[in-house]
Structure 1
Amino acid sequence: MIRACLLGLFCIAICAPSANSDDTAGIVKEITGDLAYVSGLNGAASLGSQLQMDNGSTLQVIKKLDDDVLVARVVEENGSSIKVADRIRVVTTQTSGDAPRAVYATRVDNGPKMDGRLDDPAWQNAKPIEGFVQRDPGYWVPSTERTTARIVYDQRKIYFGFECFDSEPHKIVANNMRRDSQLWGDDNVQILLDTYNDRQTGAFFFVNSLGAKRDLILSREGRTYNDDWDCIWEAKGHRDDKGWSVEVAIPFDQLRFKDEEDAVWGINLARFIARKTESTALMIGQRSTSPTQRYRTTDLAELRGLKSLKTRRVFQIKPYVLPGAVKDLQADDPSAQTSFESGVDLRYGLTPNMILDLSYNTDFAQVEGDQEEVNLTQFSQFFPEKREFFLEGSNLFDFGEAATRRGGDSRPPTILFYSRRIGLESGEPVPILLGSKLTGKAGKTSIGALNVLTDSKTLHDDTFVQRSNFSVLRLKHDVIARSNIGAIIVNKQAPVPNAGWDQYNRAAGLDFSFSPSNALNFQGFYAQTWDSAEDAQTGAAGFLQATYSGGIYSSTLKYVDIGEHFLPKAGFVNRRAGLKRLRRYEAQFRARIPANTNLIRYISTGPRFRLFTDPSDPTNKVKFWDLQVSTYTRFNAGDWYRVEFARTHDVVERTFKPSKKRPDIIIPHGTYNFTKFGTGPYPSRSRKVRPEFDIEIGNYYTGKRYKLSLENTFMPSGKLSIETDYEVNWLRLPQGNFNIQVLSNRLIYSFSTDFYVKLFAQWNNDREQASVNVLLNYRFRPGSDIYFVYDQGFDVTYDHNLDDRDVLREWSERNRAVLIKVSYMLGM
């Protein structure tokens, strides 16, 4: 009897599930690159858990897709390779501190020949990088097309090679050849480098199959970016019957990093398949409604294998000559005046991570003018910086509230330093005599210093702009992961007639950014201003913001408090006329709802609410509020459709004129409530023909407003691009009817990735001006350019007849300029 019981207990022990075996055993369902998709662990493994195969291979859990499916990376293979249906079990549930994924660079004596093909011997020993997963439309599922990447480096450069296999190579989209064009609509690959591995800043690179390039500088964990940065790097593309490939070479002296025996950088590699609107990458963060999720620096792999990497102290001299002729018909002497200008830019590495830029007689003749915009509000317009000297390291000087969108349609920020205050007055350039800039990082502290001297000038309206000096000192210190504190001092100094340089405007502030998780961020600042004017008083401002960007939902809460006397003359303040003290509250919520249909991919919808108050007004503190509810439908083909409803309450403290050509029409004092409805389609940027139109209908203060915006882009090939934008606003007010029209056309023909010609023409009937700009740019070697510039401006005046129609009165030439600029980069 006892023997039978013992035998029964033994059988039960043999057959019962073990806590360390069957109940924690799973099966490999799919393999891509170094990733294995595992199911059947029944929640026994958490993020960071170590898994083991029967053959001894070790894996680490890096993503939980649902309660049953996990994504694990291969840490170590032991013997035979991992196969589908292999059994796997949990070794430990203790979270590992290792990075989710790691890729490796291989040292070579000489870098590969740059031709877009990965058949050079330099690539042979590089470790292949595979396992790209979808960001959209799927989430962490394998890409539908295979991508292989390799990384090598030599003493001077780091090289990236991509092989993008395609089952339908004849459908590869390549509409752009010119540098810095809109490559995100083409089939492209992307490289994100966080060279300090601090998860806060980065450099971002696009390349399409033609070898066209685009680069950006990222800051604030990738939440803000500067796409006018101009890095010196190379890229070549190649297409064949298997797909396409590219080679990228980035000089180390274009990047900032620490000297380390065994350096580790943050990295992400990505690919976009245009016809499928499929985004894939090595690392994917949480799902987000933001279209700029690809720029986020919080979710990166690690780049290892960078042995004995020594930063080179950069030393570059870039002189230029600028002969030309200018004819100003508004001047006392309207005859053509010839000129010959010259200058030089110098860049020197004081340390490997501290760069000094010096500029003498800085010139920006080749920079395209601002796009004409219509502004019918009481707020100022905000335009991005485009000038090269101010772009390098510009993310370090960021202080304050970031602009929500770019260009004239942006919601303007409150910032202490706005570089467009230097060398520009009322849209006219002011000569910059000398400029110096120091940017870099020492340990955990980022340092930025700027000093610029501008010359005096009499503007076309006879306004005299006196010589001024601008100085900025910016410090930012990393405190914990993805968080920092900082300080800034800004000074504008100018001479007083018959006295010294006693006229000044100064600003100083403290700021912080705190990210307790990848999805949550808090930031804020406190600042004060001082001015030398006799009646000036010290002003103060504060800002707080909380942002959540999670899976399906995202939200932002914002508070801004601007004192009556806060006036940073070298900054930008989104202040309305008539308000003394301004408090602004904002709240925004968005939900991205998957549709999972054959036609629609997802719907992004949500409200945004803004409230402006003036605490100093005892009778009516609320001065402005608006509520917008918008819905964007994303189709599987990459097209969008927008529907928006807005309700606005606006108190006009000071009368204003919405039109320059109709100064007789004035918006009077009063309290107004009006409603606006807008809708329109936005075709995919992958299409060769992209007609967009936007219609808005609603009230406008004392009357009505109807808006029609038409934009069309035609790209018959990668060489030719024709972009036409037209906007018309019909305003029907009791004092009279009028319309404001803006038309622009941009034609670009690219002979190669380094040689193009551009025609840019604009017309604005409200400003009664038109302009034509022709630019030919040939980059004959990295950093060295030849520019031919032709500018012509016109005055277009109208008579307003009794039928409220504009009748052309005169079309006359205002100015003309022909310039040739040659710059040559000398690297020491």
Structure 2
Amino acid sequence: MKKNLLVLLFIFSSLFVFAQKKNESYRYHIKKATSPLVIDGVMDEESWLQAESAKDFYMMVPMDTSFANVLTEVRMTYDNKNIYLIAICYDTNPGAYVVESLKRDFSFNKNDNFLLFMDPFDGRTDGFSFGSNAAGAQWDGSMYEGSKVDLSWDNKWTSVVTNYPDRWVFEAAIPFKSIRYKEGIKEWGINFSRFDIKSGEKSSWAPVPRQFPSASLAYTGIIVWDEVPPSAGRNISIIPYVLGGVSKDHVNGTPIDYRKDIGGDVKVALNSSLNLDLTVNPDFSQVEVDKQVINLNRFELFFAEKRQFFLENGDLFANFGYSSIRPFFSRRIGLNAPIRYGARLSGKLNKDWRIGVMDVQTGDVDEASLPAQNYGAITLQRRVFSRSNIAFMFVNRQSTGSLSKNSTSPDFNRNVGLEYNLASSNNLWSGKAMVLKSFTPDQTQDNVVQAAHLQYLSKNWTFYLQEEYVGKNYLAEVGYVPRNDYVKINPKVSRNFFPQSGNILSHTVQLSSTYYFDGSMNRTDNESILSYMVTLRDQSSITAAFNNSYVKLLKPFDPTNIGKGLLATGTEHQWNTASLDYVSKPQSVLTYQLGGSYGGYYAEGTRYSFTSQLGYRFQPYVSLAIASSYNDLKLPQPWGHNSFWLVGPRADVTFSNTLYFTAFVQYNEQLKNMNINTRLQWRYKPASDFYIVYADNYDPTSSFSVKNRQLVVKWTYWWNL
């Protein structure tokens, strides 16, 4: 199976990668500005009147066979410092625009919005995205894997939105210093996207088939510069921070801890496409807390990276492998020990080569006997054919300092890997083939990973097949590999239907199975899912699913994860589950999601679960939401009857698009904890912020007594040299 799948990958790559760029004929000619521009959302400068107009957008949703009904017009120009864009988004449908709030990096499907997708190398795999919703909230992110946008990426640019009765106008200035591009290239990949929720219409300037996101770089047009884009010049940014804080641990009764920290980052553009990031004594106290879940899983949960230092070109490091086989996972760094300093070199060497080099040093923790650690990673990516690439990665974790002599962990752990990523020119075929090997003292056998997948994605059909092998002694201490010693096979097929009329926009039936085997190919567990999803023309959706699950435990396991007892190794468990989910239409100021499931569970038990999310917005300033989940487990003794609530109310108040307040509460009955996190953020200048963060944890089983509490005040400034 593994060999056959790998052969298919390379056969299909040779058949499909040489095709010409799909939207080669869609060209926008950008001319240098002849007069100064003021970013005010008004198209009254002479430079705008002389700029070429991009219009006649193509509809993507509900159908992709005609021009858009909702009109959009885009113009672009530039000077020696900035790229300028103005988008006129016409609106002939009655009623207010649909927006959540003025919060940055909004949810695409819940806001009337306009987005720019820019591929400065025209490599059709990575780039940048900028945009806004109809109220002026900014969106910016780095793009990777051909269509994905990492909204954690944040940079320095300005924009204004002006509203009129029949249109809204987005005007922006994007500094050349804020993006990475190759000097001397006069053609970049580009596309514009518009989503109008009231009409339920999504459109793009260069046409994109509806099964792909509008961000798909395989379908960008071309922006043609009248002159070679100007050099960004000296591009050095210094981003210092000053922090003061106070915290108190009530559980251990320690004295009040007063914090006085200073540190910062330096960003040095070695050229227009290669960046060096340096950090000293970084602090991430302003990063939003993770959303908790009821954990009934046998394996470690994954939480995404949110720290700014690790984000630019983060896909080079973080996306090597699969979601459950990551040789590098940056959240391992600084998890229980402070980061002292670090450096990251990342970006493009040219159109075909990308590089990433990282080195981070953490301090030791005497009270926990944790030695200082040095974390290093090197990754190199070479584009082959039109959109595919071959990537290499090396990851190293090395104990340093005096405490390393007394540490129980290995002195080092290293990983070396190679992978081939297939992406056809038309995006219909994608795949991957990879191999990894770990190096740890006294572990020389069964320390290899091999995995591959192939996917065909058309408008009507999706075919997917994946296989994985993880050796018994494979170890990735700086990665995320929740389980070892298995062979996995995962086939999936789905069929989409698009009625020409009626209330149903589309409906999909999908069948998938995931099988796990031990080294002798004995089945250890599997899950098969048959699902049916209906999307209505008002963009609400209903999903029904039936699951069949089988587990043969390879380790003792507590099915409640609260310490009531363990199921024995080798015991077998099988059950069925039925589920139903509903998502309401996003046009209403009151939105909701409801989901429920009922079925069996371990030890011939039963499990009932219910999830909900209720939201209400006072456009565009306040967005209120409350998410909840309930799990009811009925098992034989010693577990008995257990139920767990997880409730998370949240309030986002955006006084303007530069002043935000967020309050987030999570009550987790399984963990017996309630936490409160509030954050006031004032973006007093582009990419420069002032934060006030307050957080505490309570014990709901002890009259909500305080466990710990902290208050942090932080100031940052983005200074361009």
SS in 1 for 2:434: strand
- Counterpart of 2:325 (choices 395, 410, 414) is 414
**1:207 aligned to 2:115?**
no
Structure 1 residues 399 and 129, CA gap change in structure 2 (3 angstroms): closer
- Counterpart of 2:236 (choices 315, 320, 324) is 315
Aligned residue runs from structure 1 range 187-586, under 5 A? 187-222=112-147, 224-260=148-184, 263-288=186-211, 293-305=213-225, 307-312=227-232, 313-333=234-254, 335-403=255-323, 413-425=324-336, 430-443=337-350, 444-457=352-365, 463-495=368-400, 503-518=411-426, 519-532=428-441, 534=442, 537=445, 539-575=447-483, 581-586=485-490
Structure 1 residues 98 and 657, CA gap change in structure 2 (3 angstroms): closer
| Residue pair 2:70, 2:201 contacting (<8 A) in 1 also | no
Query: Does 130-139 or 182-191 show the bigger shift?
Result: 182-191
Q: Structure 2, unaligned stretches of length 5 or more? A: 1-19
Q: TM-score, normalised by structure 1?
A: 0.81
Q: What is the CA–CA distance in structure 2 between the aligned matches of 1:463 and 1:97, rounded to whole Å?
A: 57
Q: What is the CA–CA distance in structure 2 between the aligned matches of 1:388 and 1:189, rounded to whole Å?
A: 25
Structure 2 letter corresponding to 1:264: E
Structure 2 letter corresponding to 1:315: I
What per-residue deviation string (whole Å, max 9, x for no partner) do you get for residues 326-371 of structure 1? 11113353x3222210002101112222111100000001011111
Structure 1 residues 535 and 606, CA gap change in structure 2 (3 angstroms): closer
- Counterpart of 1:706 (choices 608, 611, 614) is 608
The higher-RCO structure (CA 8 Å, 6+ apart) is 2
SS in 1 for 2:618: coil
What residue is the counterpart of 1:818 in the other structure? 711
**1:722 aligned to 2:624?**
yes
Q: Which has the larger radius of gyration?
A: 1
Give the C-alpha shift of residue 257 in structure 1. 1.0
| Residue pair 2:93, 2:198 contacting (<8 A) in 1 also | no
What residue is the counterpart of 2:720 in the other structure? 827
Q: TM-score, normalised by structure 2?
A: 0.93
Query: Does 487-496 or 561-570 show the bigger shift?
Result: 487-496
| Residue pair 1:440, 1:446 contacting (<8 A) in 2 also | yes
Structure 1 residues 498 and 782, CA gap change in structure 2 (3 angstroms): closer
What residue is the counterpart of 2:547 in the other structure? 646
**1:655 aligned to 2:552?**
no
Give the C-alpha shift of residue 717 in structure 1. 1.5
- Counterpart of 1:141 (choices 66, 69, 83) is 66
Query: Does 591-600 or 165-174 show the bigger shift?
Result: 165-174
| Residue pair 1:530, 1:537 contacting (<8 A) in 2 also | no
Q: What is the CA–CA distance in structure 1 between the aligned matches of 2:34 and 2:240, rounded to whole Å?
A: 33
Question: What is the percent sequence identity of the aligned residues?
Answer: 24
Give the C-alpha shift of residue 287 in structure 1. 3.6
Structure 2 letter corresponding to 1:228: S
SS in 2 for 1:184: helix
Structure 1 residues 163 and 358, CA gap change in structure 2 (3 angstroms): same
Give the C-alpha shift of residue 111 in structure 1. 4.9
Structure 1 residues 648 and 657, CA gap change in structure 2 (3 angstroms): same
Query: Does 206-215 or 356-365 show the bigger shift?
Result: 206-215
- Counterpart of 1:792 (choices 696, 701, 719) is 696
What per-residue deviation string (whole Å, max 9, x for no partner) do you get for residues 26-74 of structure 1? xxxxxxxxxxxxxxxxxxxxxxxxxxxxxxxxxxxxxxxxxxxxxxxxx
Q: What is the CA–CA distance in structure 2 between the aligned matches of 1:303 and 1:571, rounded to whole Å?
A: 39
Q: What is the CA–CA distance in structure 2 between the aligned matches of 1:399 and 1:525, rounded to whole Å?
A: 12
| Residue pair 2:240, 2:718 contacting (<8 A) in 1 also | yes
Aligned residue runs from structure 1 range 94-173, under 5 A? 99-108=24-33, 111-168=36-93, 170-173=95-98
| Residue pair 1:492, 1:506 contacting (<8 A) in 2 also | yes
Give the C-alpha shift of residue 727 in structure 1. 0.5
What per-residue deviation string (whole Å, max 9, x for no partner) do you get for residues 688-725 of structure 1? 11121100000001200000111111112210011101
Q: What is the CA–CA distance in structure 1 between the aligned matches of 2:403 and 2:365, rounded to whole Å?
A: 18
Structure 1 residues 139 and 96, CA gap change in structure 2 (3 angstroms): closer
Give the C-alpha shift of residue 384 in structure 1. 0.8
Query: Does 682-691 or 603-612 show the bigger shift?
Result: 682-691
Q: What is the CA–CA distance in structure 2 between the aligned matches of 1:726 and 1:358, rounded to whole Å?
A: 40
SS in 2 for 1:217: strand
Structure 1 residues 704 and 498, CA gap change in structure 2 (3 angstroms): closer
Structure 1 residues 111 and 712, CA gap change in structure 2 (3 angstroms): farther
| Residue pair 1:147, 1:164 contacting (<8 A) in 2 also | yes
| Residue pair 2:21, 2:218 contacting (<8 A) in 1 also | no
| Residue pair 2:93, 2:199 contacting (<8 A) in 1 also | no
Q: What is the CA–CA distance in structure 1 between the aligned matches of 2:680 and 2:175, rounded to whole Å?
A: 27
Q: What is the CA–CA distance in structure 1 between the aligned matches of 2:353 and 2:719, rounded to whole Å?
A: 30
Aligned residue runs from structure 1 range 52-91, under 5 A? none
| Residue pair 2:369, 2:403 contacting (<8 A) in 1 also | no
Q: What is the CA–CA distance in structure 2 between the aligned matches of 1:423 and 1:266, rounded to whole Å?
A: 37
Give the C-alpha shift of residue 496 in structure 1. 7.1
Q: What is the CA–CA distance in structure 1 between the aligned matches of 2:108 and 2:207, rounded to whole Å?
A: 21
| Residue pair 1:531, 1:538 contacting (<8 A) in 2 also | no
Structure 1 residues 567 and 535, CA gap change in structure 2 (3 angstroms): closer
Q: What is the CA–CA distance in structure 1 between the aligned matches of 2:609 and 2:238, rounded to whole Å?
A: 50
Across the aligned residues of Structure 1 and Structure 2, the Cα RMSD in angstroms comes to 2.0
Q: What is the CA–CA distance in structure 2 between the aligned matches of 1:177 and 1:478, rounded to whole Å?
A: 38
Give the C-alpha shift of residue 668 in structure 1. 6.5
SS in 2 for 1:295: coil
What per-residue deviation string (whole Å, max 9, x for no partner) do you get for residues 747-783 of structure 1? 1110101101111111111111111111000000012
Give the C-alpha shift of residue 163 in structure 1. 0.7
SS in 2 for 1:818: strand
Structure 2 letter corresponding to 1:571: G
Structure 2 letter corresponding to 1:625: N
Structure 1 residues 747 and 726, CA gap change in structure 2 (3 angstroms): same
Q: What is the CA–CA distance in structure 1 between the aligned matches of 2:23 and 2:584, rounded to whole Å?
A: 42
Structure 1 residues 225 and 613, CA gap change in structure 2 (3 angstroms): farther
Structure 2 letter corresponding to 1:716: F
| Residue pair 2:23, 2:220 contacting (<8 A) in 1 also | no
Q: What is the CA–CA distance in structure 1 between the aligned matches of 2:160 and 2:322, rounded to whole Å?
A: 35
Q: What is the CA–CA distance in structure 2 between the aligned matches of 1:693 and 1:650, rounded to whole Å?
A: 28
Q: Structure 1, unaligned stretches of length 5 or more? A: 1-94, 404-412, 798-808
What residue is the counterpart of 1:744 in the other structure? 648
Q: What is the CA–CA distance in structure 1 between the aligned matches of 2:403 and 2:107, rounded to whole Å?
A: 52
**1:601 aligned to 2:505?**
yes
